Structure 1
Amino acid sequence: MSQQPIKFAYWIPNVSGGLVVSTIEQRTDWGIDYNRRLAQTAEKAGFEYGLAQIRFTAGYGAEYQHEPVAISHALLAATEKLKVIAAILPGPWHPVVVAKQLASIDQFTGGRVAINVVSGWFRGEFYALGEPWLEHDERYRRSEEFIRVLKGVWTEEKFSFQGDFYRLHDYSLKPKPVQQPHPEVFQGGSSRAARDMAARVSDWYFTNGNTPEGIKAQVDDVRAKAAAEGRSVKIGVNAFIIARDTEQEARAVLQDIIDRANPEAVNAFGAEVKNAGAASPEGEGNWAKSSFEDLVQYNDGFKTNLIGTPQQIAERIVALKAVGVDLVLSAFLHFQEEVEYFGRKVLPLVRELEAQRQKVA
């Protein structure tokens, strides 16, 4: 188990509809004023990162979307320590454009921007943009080139690259980012191609929500492959957190979310993402085995089971750390109130349990 304290990130609600596909009331707003206040609350509560989502078109409850790089810059301007991870989709973006954007933001903020490279799951979005829809493993191959270009441009004086998707000739980026050797690169996925790519080029690997046993299998695979490359990769896991004073209250909220799920939207989302997950050669990509209830939360966040009292949740977080998780990517129903509650009631218990385990070790 890592000796470093486990880190926490929150999903920035920069798209409408919140983080569940349900008609339940969500006191969460996608607008900039709400998000500025939320970023400040999260920073004060002890969250190290916020992740700005990438969506180009409406669908599955997300009628409106703020662009992730733009909102990242706005939230960084409203905070002092929080690092914001901008999600980027290869295809619509060229890696040099992204490298230049993020290098400038990194300069402006003293090194507080990161990137999450999303290989793509929404075929309809690519169609709407007139972008080619690549086969599953080809999407990851493009993402790997994208990351190699980012890192090359950020770290080399003159960078050349000859790939199948990108080509550069003695390109020089100035100014470089503040962070050394470069801003952190996050990447998600559960398929073999995703894990293999993370082992070769990414700094962080995000996986969908899962049991500790399911997460451990992915962690062990990624870390073994990274070690063979002479690298190390940190692991983040998605979780929808429902922390209440009693377990009964928390479970009632979960049931209410599922009971009020929007079946049409959930099933449409499920059809799209299961197609993406099952399209991996081994049929093991994200969402390939998700149930209707799992899909009510976009990234299988209920599966991680951070639902209950502060003590129960803290114990489960430390159990995730024990199987190799370095970061919990958190979603909530009512973000503003629940992020504050998490920082006040749950996070101190996590730190106590970590300290106890460190003494025993």
Structure 2
Amino acid sequence: MALNIFWFIPTFGDNRYLGSKDQSRVSDFDYVKQVAVAADTLGYDGVLIPTGRSCEDPFVVASSLIGVTSKLKFLVALRPGLLQPALAARIASTLDRFSNGRVAFNLVAGGDKDELEGDGLFQDSDERYETAAEFVDLWKAILKASYEKELVNFDGKHYKTKNAKLLYPPVQRPHPPLFFGGSSQKAHELAAQKVDLYITWGETPKAVKAKIEDVKEKALKYGRSIKFGIRLHVIVRDSEEEAWSAAEKLISKLDDEKINASQTALQKLDSEGQRLMTALTNGGKARTREELEISPNLWAGIGLVRGGCATALVGSAEIVAQRIQEYVDLGIDTFVFSGYPHLEESFRFAELVFPLLPNKTKEKLSGLVQSGPFGGVTTEDTPKIK
């Protein structure tokens, strides 16, 4: 199976130690550009650009990176309720056209209640999913109609349009790929009906298998089939011992006060997925490797203080590749990885793990070795001066 490997653009800052300002970085345009160029050069298929008020705006970030990359695809959030479908279709089409088909969209139906209300959205979970379903239908209809230069009329519960028109159609037909993630039954039902790829946060293979089977079964009722992805952090080193040492170092500056404050905030979120992630650390009470390693080489330590994706694959390149294969065997073909700090870890993961993955092995300079204080190249095959 050909795999799609995405990296992550840290638009809310970056660091070497979770929960600490020591050796932290501001994600300004220069740094974001460095991460994107590295991912593009190294051969990642795309990058996830996060969303929320703690992040820089994902549409602006994606558009600013089009010109400094050549192959990289940008996974950008669509927020029903915060953005009108017709405007979202126009933005999507422009990004798709200007990037020559290098964009996909991540449907985000939930979030922090306080944040959503601060943005002007006052809906409960049921209303948000109803809104998201209508949003997708109208968004798709407007994009599809742009090829035939047709008008779109829509009269729904949450959205209404009269003679909606999109003059400039997208490159990807009938629309750019639409991703979506969610752990509730409402989320699974929405995924089964509306999206192209369902993506889960990094749970155990057993839990992921159950999710995939449920979404597949629901999709079949609608005569649909969809693809599957997973979102994970990764800590890979030359040896398993080094990787676990790096994992411990990442959380070495956390204390009870920081963990408790983070867990209190996370437990207020109206999200089944977040509830599952928080449970992996026993509400922040887990501390040891034995408690946080929830499945072989799947570590929940990041979830002590970070919302969203809380787990990391930890190990040598060979071990990490084996764990990736376990998820591939379940039917997953898209992986969205990240690591702290994101610039260095993008190189480390590509250099160590890509050669072990299908369709990611790069040609190497066979026999060439960098050596010497001035960076000279030496090889037994170098022509001799006569």
TM-score, with normalisation over the residues of structure 2? 0.81
Q: Is 1:337 matched up with 2:327?
A: no
For 2:188, the equivalent position in structure 1 comes to 195
Q: 2:314 aligns with which of 307, 310, 333?
A: 307
The whole-number CA distance in structure 2 between the counterparts of 1:284 and 1:35 is: 26
Is the counterpart of residue 252 in structure 1 residue 245 in structure 2?
Answer: yes
Superimposed CA distance per residue, residues 32-87 of structure 1 (whole angstroms, 9 cap, x where no aligned partner): 1111121111122221111111112x4xxxxxx31100000111221111110111
Q: Are the structure 2 counterparts of residues 284 and 102 from structure 1 closer, same or farther at C-alpha, using a change threshold of 3 Å?
A: closer
Aligned to 1:154: 143
Size of the aligned set, in residue pairs, is 338
The CA deviation string for residues 194-246 of structure 1, in whole angstroms up to 9 with x for no partner, is 11101100111121111111111101111121122111211111111001111
In our comparison, the structure showing a higher alpha carbon Rg is 2
1:124 lines up with 2:114 in the alignment = yes
| TM-aligned CA distance change 1:307 to 1:15, over 3 Å | same
In the alignment, does 2:353 pair up with 1:346?
yes
Q: 1:264 to 1:144 in 2, by over 3 A?
A: farther
Q: What is the distance in 2 between the residues matched to 1:264 and 1:149?
A: 46
Label 1:207 to 1:28 Cα distance change in 2 as closer, same or farther (>3 A): farther
| TM-fit CA distance, 1:263 | 5.0
**2:277 is equivalent to residue 287 of structure 1:** yes
Matches within 5 A, 1:253-272: 253-261=246-254, 266-272=259-265
Structure 1 unpaired stretches of 5+: 59-64, 355-361
| 1:231 pairs with 2:238 | no
Higher relative contact order (CA 8 A, sep 6+): 1
Query: 1:326-349: per-residue Cα shift (whole Å, max 9, x none)?
Result: 111111012111111211210111
Runs of at least 4 residues off by over 6 Å: none
Alignment partners' CA distance in 2, 1:43 and 1:213: 33
In structure 2, the CA distance between the partners of 1:262 and 1:33, relative to structure 1 (3 Å rule), is farther
Q: Does 1:142 align with 2:131?
A: yes
Gaps spanning 5+ residues in structure 2: where? 285-300, 362-386
- Who is 2:92 aligned against? 102
Q: Which amino acid in structure 2 is aligned with residue 146 of structure 1? A: F
Whether 1:12 and 2:12 are equivalent positions in the alignment is: no
Higher helix share: 1
Which residue of 1 is the match for residue 197 of structure 2? 204
Aligned partners of 1:296, 1:285: CA distance in 2, in Å? 14
Deviation of 1:28 (Å): 5.2
State yes or no: 1:298 paired with 2:287. Answer: no
- Is 1:53 aligned to 2:50, yes or no? yes
Contact 1:318 1:353 survives alignment (8 Å): no
Partner Cα separation in structure 2 for residue 19 and residue 113 of structure 1: 29
Aligned CA RMSD, in angstroms, stands at: 2.5
How far residue 298 of structure 1 moved from its aligned partner, in angstroms, is 2.9
Q: Secondary structure at the match of 1:207?
A: strand
| Counterpart contact for 1:191–1:284, Cα < 8 Å | no
Distance (Å, rounded) in 2 between the aligned partners of 1:352 and 1:111 = 21
Asked whether the 8 Å contact 2:8–2:49 carries over to 1, the reply is yes
Q: 1:238 and 1:192, CA in 2 relative to 1: closer, same or farther beyond 3 A?
A: same
- Which residue, 83, 105, 108 being the options, matches 1:115? 105
User: Taking structure 1 as the reference length, what is the TM-score of the superposition?
Assistant: 0.86
